[in-house]
Amino acid sequence: MSAKWGLTPFFLAFLAGAATVLAYSPFDLLPIGIFAFAVLVHLWVRADSPRAAFLLGFWFGFGLFGSGVSWVYVSLHQFGGMPAPLAVAATLGFCAVLALYPALAGWVQARVAASNFVRATLVIPASWMLMEWLRGWFLTGFPWLALGYASAGWPYAGFAPVLGVYGASLAIAAVAGLAWCVVRGVGRSAALAALLLVSATGEALRHIAWTTPSGTVGASLLQGNIPQQMKFSPELYARTLDTYARLAGESRTPLIILPETAVPRLLDQVEPEYLRRLDDIARRNRGDLLLGAPERTAPRVYFNSVVSLGTSPGQIYRKVHLVPFGEFVPPGFGWVMRTLSIPLSDFSRGEASQRPLALARARIAVNICYEDAYAEDIARQLPEADLLVNVSNVAWFGDSLAPAQHLQVARLRALETGRAYLTATNTGITAAIDRDGRVIARLPQFAEGRLDVAAPRYAGATPYVRYGDLGALGACALLLAIALVLTRRTPSG
């Protein structure tokens, strides 16, 4: 990349990253995301050094995350009480850290000697996917906005049951590289053929039924629409309890699901009469009720939990993946918490190997809030579980992109596991998703309501459930091996 370009390539990378957000929900414009990634491919191919490629990747990532997870500011400032300047600095710093992963992808691909065709179609997609995978677990991980999430509703979603969301990322990145080759005339015929093959393969995989139906269970998902700024107010406590008891009482289904922290008080502080009231409702329906509530098991030992009431023996799920600064304080960051007013922010982690809950004649794999971003953790409860249930309180992020993005994450988990997915939230988006990632019913956001569905139950295991991310990592290794073979045969340039 010559000096005459100045800052132009970095600005283009930033714009391309910001435009990539349009590929995700609520926009769902994947072609724009493919075009934006192809711009990054073009810039990386033209970069004259690994350092330049690193910086281009950084600015692309900063545009992507700066636009896509700006809702962190809403949580910190509007609901967390952090002063606006500090919240802005914290959000920008968080986005800059996330941008290091695309930057590393740029540096890695630039270190590989390859022809433009091989770089665009093999090396860049593999490098990108590897860094997404690393971002998903390193330092507890933040798997949000993996490129594969944008595949929901598009042909490349077919790769999710086989290779998971990272396999879908690999396919989309490869398609962007192939599209760049077609436009630039770099191995045009081969690139066009490969592009059509990848797309056709994804579409064909979408029509494979990896799991088999095993009945249905009637379920009611409750959305109380309790304003976040008032949720933990003592003055609103009685109204909150009455809202959920009323919504539950109107249900006639054997499974009733309340959101995360539907009861905004420690479970042992909730009036026993109220819990008996919910238990009676579940028993009247000859079923069970799932209640999100913080739980204290010993002095200063708290869990973000979901407990069951009703005809089945009482069961508990305790959240494993906690949100840094929202649910636990990372070592050395106590000073950050002193700038926030977030209640219940010092939880303990639940056991990693929790069994599905046996409720309402279903075997339910429960997860809480953004735990569903960790695909392998969800798959760990399968194939024993025949239904996935998420409870969330996404009200922390207001009227931002976060709720729609969270629903898109749920769609990929349904695809990967071949299971229906029910998500009950405080203010939305409460929805039911079938195994093909299709939203079959939902409630409007920021409205009180009850969503009644006949939730399909499925048995069996997709390839992703059996092998997890090993499939995507194997595909990535295969691309790099092919790149190595082709590079030895073809001079770079």
Catalytic residue flag (residue 448): no
Q: Which residue has the tokens 């080759």?
A: 181
Rounded to whole angstroms, the Cα distance separating 180 from 448 reads 47
The DSSP element (H or E) to which 302 belongs, if any, is strand 301-310
Which of 457, 445, 447, 439 lies closest to 365 in space, CA to CA? 457
Catalytic residue flag (residue 319): yes
Question: What does the CA dihedral 406, 407, 410, 411 come to, rounded to 10 degrees?
Answer: -140
Catalytic residue among 132, 319, 327, 476: 319
Rounded to whole angstroms, the Cα distance separating 376 from 244 reads 32
Degrees (nearest 5) of the Cα angle 315, 321, 325?
A: 120
The DSSP element (H or E) to which 422 belongs, if any, is strand 421-425
| 353's tokens | 């190997």
CA 462 vs CA 57, 209, 410: distances in Å:
34, 9, 16
Which of 313, 326, 311, 270 lies closest to 293 in space, CA to CA? 270
Catalytic residue among 369, 371, 416, 476: 369
Burial (0-12, 13-18, 19+ Cβ within 10 Å), 361: middle
**Torsional sign, CA 42, 48, 52, 57:** positive
| 251's tokens | 């249900």
Q: Is the peptide bond before 83 cis (omega within 30 degrees of 0)?
A: no
Return the amino acid letter for 187.
Answer: G
Rounded to whole angstroms, the Cα distance separating 490 from 287 reads 66
Catalytic residue among 95, 132, 181, 260: 260
The per-residue b/e assignment along 205-236, b for 16 or more CB within 10 angstroms, e otherwise, is bbeeebbeeeeebbbbbbbbbbebeebbeeeb
Which of 250, 160, 248 lies closest to 210 in space, CA to CA? 160
Degrees (nearest 5) of the Cα angle 203, 205, 211?
A: 140
CA 366 vs CA 112, 145, 281: distances in Å:
43, 22, 21
Catalytic residue flag (residue 476): no
Burial (0-12, 13-18, 19+ Cβ within 10 Å), 138: exposed
The DSSP element (H or E) to which 8 belongs, if any, is helix 8-20
Report, as residue numbers or ranges, the catalytic residues: 260, 319, 369
